[in-house]
């Protein structure tokens, strides 16, 4: 039986990632976005009891902690990522306590963009409604909706993780890692209708306009769905802003 991912602290993260042969840690700020259930099911099906799943709230991390800063630097150097004190939101794969891969886990945000909700979201909503009616459960309907939206994201991450697990580390591994991050970054830019030439203030404005459409305190309908979408919006925004801060630091 697949257990829900457990919350861990930055203080015991080494213990948790070393407690099993494989471990996936989902870094996020707050309760959303939640762990991709399709990804965890696919990995559990393949690796059985040899894999565990955790999540960590990045807002609770003390970034002045030198031990954690050194650990984060080690992981980012291995992956070929720009060094920073930020525990970037996304999914981290560990093997025997060692970092193997990182994936931002950006959902297919174009599917939830207000200008392109169209047929894709209608299909997702329809699938959720059917599941809810058949199983007489609103919660089951919501779960079906979320899974429909998460499926492409889960498949991308699963294939990427398996690919890196099956090959030895090399410089090409770092190149592949960087290509994945760049691809996910471009998806985030497209979702907000901006690009790399857009100013930070314009990106924040685009993010705030998007938040007004989906924030559960403003849009009272489908609050569970809106909570999930707001989590993805915030994660995409954080990915863009961290990338920009790293670029500024290297210039």
- Report the distance separating Cα 238 and Cα 174, nearest Å: 22
> Residue 157: what pLDDT?
95
**Which has the minimum average pLDDT: 138-147, 197-206, 207-216, 227-236?**
138-147
> Residue 228: what pLDDT?
77
> Residue 55: what pLDDT?
96
Q: Among the residues of 48-98, which ranges form H helices?
A: 66-79
> Residue 137: what pLDDT?
46
Q: Is the pLDDT of residue 210 over 60?
A: yes
Beta strands 6-7 and 98-103: pairing type? unpaired
> Residue 244: what pLDDT?
87
> Residue 128: what pLDDT?
47
- Report the distance separating Cα 206 and Cα 174, nearest Å: 32
The pTM (predicted TM-score) of the whole model is 0.82
Domains of the chain: 6-103 (3.40.30.10)
Question: Quick one: DSSP state of residue 125?
Answer: H
**Average pLDDT across the chain, whole number:** 82
> Residue 75: what pLDDT?
93
**Nearest one of 35, 47, 27, 13 to 150, comparing CA atoms:** 35
- Report the distance separating Cα 166 and Cα 157, nearest Å: 14
For 37, other C-beta atoms within 10 Å of its C-beta total 17
Beta strands 22-28 and 51-57: pairing type? parallel
Per-residue pLDDT, averaged over 162-171, amounts to 84
Dihedral Cα 223, 229, 234, 237, nearest 10 deg: -150
Q: Is the pLDDT of residue 3 over 90?
A: no
Rg (CA), the chain: 18
- Report the distance separating Cα 149 and Cα 154, nearest Å: 10
Query: Which pLDDT band, with edges at 50, 70 and 90, does 136 fall under?
Result: very low
């Amino acid at each position: 039986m697949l257990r829900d991912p457990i919350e861990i602290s930055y203080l015991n993260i080494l213990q948790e990632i070393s407690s099993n042969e494989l471990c996936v840690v989902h870094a996020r700020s707050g309760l959303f976005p939640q762990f991709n259930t399709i990804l965890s099911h696919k990995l559990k099906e393949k690796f059985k009891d040899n894999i565990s799943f955790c999540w960590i709230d990045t807002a609770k991390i003390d970034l002045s902690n030198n031990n954690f800063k050194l650990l984060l630097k080690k992981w980012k150097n291995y992956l070929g990522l720009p060094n920073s004190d930020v525990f970037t939101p996304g999914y981290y794969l560990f093997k025997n306590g060692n970092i193997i891969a990182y994936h931002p886990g950006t959902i297919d945000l174009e599917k939830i963009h207000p200008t392109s909700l169209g047929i894709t979201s209608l299909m997702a909503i329809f699938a959720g409604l059917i599941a809810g009616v058949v199983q007489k459960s609103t919660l089951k309907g919501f779960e079906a909706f979320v899974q429909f939206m998460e499926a492409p994201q889960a498949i991308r991450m699963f294939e990427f993780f398996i690919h890196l697990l099956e090959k030895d580390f090399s410089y090409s591994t770092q190149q592949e890692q960087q290509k994945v991050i760049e691809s996910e970054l471009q998806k985030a830019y497209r979702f907000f209708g901006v690009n790399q030439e857009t100013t930070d203030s314009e990106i924040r404005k685009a993010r705030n306009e998007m938040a007004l459409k989906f924030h559960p305190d403003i849009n009272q309908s489908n609050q569970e769905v809106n909570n999930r979408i707001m989590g993805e919006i915030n994660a995409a925004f954080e990915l863009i802003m961290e990338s920009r801060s790293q670029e500024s630091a290297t210039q």
